[in-house]
Amino acid sequence: MLRSSNPILSRQDAFTPAAPQYNQNPYGQPQPGYAQYPTPGYPYAPVESLEGRMTLDDVVTKTALTMGILILAAALAWRFVPDRLYFPALIASGLIGFIVVMVVAFRRKVQPGLVLLYAAIEGVFIGMISKVFENLYEGIVVQAVIGTFAAAAVTLAAYKFFNIRVTPKFRKVVIIATIAFAVALLINFLLSLFGVNLGLRDSAGTISMLAVVFSLIGATLAVLNLVLDFDYIEQGVAMGAPASESWRGAFGLTVTMVWLYIEILRLLSYIRR
């Protein structure tokens, strides 16, 4: 059973070969292109399979689609959302995007419509937060975008060319660290509602060394999650996962890329100060 630290790719039934009990002939050999089910008098009657198998090209295509919709939504939000609605749109899109992530994470089968909906909603969030930072530090968004895709490309190249193997211990450490990071962010957010600042994020225009270190940790964890995601998708393709699972892979990569972009954007803002 494959596991991943990415909340979108961590379902126990994700990337499991589809219905192996239905594609075996009486001699235990699979029938390509057919599904099998018992019928009276004919224990194994062949019918055409309704779903193919996941491929790397499928994941790449769907990831490009979701990222394209996200970027388009971000550009439209940047251009057309009035200044007075910046923060309401930022908060609303962030909360709704989080809810959609949870819905997709706990569904047995990913619905493409939900994936595209997430991309559009998260695009609004990215557009709003990017414009806020751009108004403070001119040119920072272009730098963050270049940094995000450069980090992802270098990570993928290192994974492929250096033949990185994800061990159970490595996976466990990244999972625990990711959960701890998320819990720390949640605690910091809840305490900030009562005026308590732990210094994990900048506040009122001031930053601390702890905030810088915390963002560095976040960016590092995002890159490590990309490694786990690449490994997980590669194994899913090798196992012959259902074609629909390519949407889950694309969704997980998009979530991680958004996380990486936010952390790089914050780090650049600290440097610019």
Q: How far apart are CA 118 and CA 97, in angstroms?
A: 6
Given a cut of 80, is residue 193 above it in pLDDT?
A: no
Given a cut of 60, is residue 224 above it in pLDDT?
A: yes
Stronger pLDDT, 40 or 168, i.e. the higher one = 168
Stronger pLDDT, 243 or 14, i.e. the higher one = 243
**Exposure string for 97-135, b = 16+ CB within 10 A, e = fewer:** beebbeebbeeeebeeebbbbbbbbbbbbbbbbbbebbe
Residue 243 amino acid letter: A
Q: Would you state the pLDDT for residue 258?
A: 94
Residue 137 lies in a domain: yes
Q: Would you state the pLDDT for residue 32?
A: 45
Answer yes or no: do 133 and 29 share one domain. Answer: no
Mean pLDDT of the chain: 80
Stronger pLDDT, 33 or 246, i.e. the higher one = 246
Among 4, 197, 203, 13, CA closest to 107: 13
Total structural domains in the chain?
A: 2
Among 185, 211, 222, 217, CA closest to 270: 211
Answer yes or no: do 116 and 41 share one domain. Answer: no
Stronger pLDDT, 272 or 254, i.e. the higher one = 254
Answer yes or no: do 124 and 48 share one domain. Answer: no
Work out the pLDDT band at 50, boundaries 50, 70, 90. low
Answer yes or no: do 36 and 82 share one domain. Answer: no
Given a cut of 60, is residue 47 above it in pLDDT?
A: no
Answer yes or no: do 48 and 126 share one domain. Answer: no
Stronger pLDDT, 191 or 152, i.e. the higher one = 152
Q: What is the pLDDT of residues 63-116, one digit of tens each?
A: 999 999 999 999 999 999 888 888 888 889 988 988 998 888 788 788 899 999
Q: What is the pLDDT of residues 20-41, one digit of tens each?
A: 444 444 444 444 443 443 444 4
51 in helix, strand or coil? coil
Q: How far apart are CA 62 and CA 59, in angstroms?
A: 5
Q: Would you state the pLDDT for residue 189?
A: 79
Q: Which domain holds residue 24?
A: 19-52
Answer yes or no: do 39 and 138 share one domain. Answer: no
Residue 8 lies in a domain: no
Residue 148 lies in a domain: yes
Phi, then psi, of 258 in degrees rounded to 5: -60, -45
Q: Tokens at residue 167, please?
A: 């061990």
Answer yes or no: do 77 and 47 share one domain. Answer: no
Average pLDDT over residues 175-179: 91
Answer yes or no: do 211 and 182 share one domain. Answer: yes
Residue 14 lies in a domain: no
Residue 206 lies in a domain: yes
Highest mean pLDDT among 33-37, 147-151, 165-169, 240-244: 147-151
